[in-house]
Amino acid sequence: MAASQGESTELVAAVLAGEEPQFHPNTGKPLSENFPLHPAAAAGLDVPRYCQLCGRRMVVQVRPDGWSARCSRHGELDSEDIYEETFG
């Protein structure tokens, strides 16, 4: 998904570069803290709801074919950006 003019792409760049998150994408808490996760988040099945760069709540849209999440500071991340489908 292309960023519109003036929109930050920091979030997608950080995720694609494999940068270590500062905040948990399902809780928004610093990763330095210990906290329980609900089963879907622990299994990696829940969509990110918090920005991994700043911990702010993101605007999330779940679609039949994936999801998109937008941080007001760091831009948008789309499931299409990080998941590749393979057909065999």
Which sequence spans correspond to the domains of the chain?
26-82
Beta strands in 11-74 (DSSP E): 59-63, 66-71
The CA-atom distances, in angstroms, between 7 and each of 16, 25, 46, 50, 76 are 17, 20, 25, 18, 8
Question: What value, to the nearest 5°, has the Cα angle with vertex 14 and ends 5 and 12?
Answer: 40
Identify the band that residue 42 occupies on the pLDDT scale cut at 50, 70 and 90: confident
Q: What is the pLDDT of residues 78-88, one digit of tens each?
A: 999 887 654 45
Q: What is the rounded average pLDDT of the residues 46-70?
A: 94
Q: Which two tokens stand for residue 76?
A: 């948008």
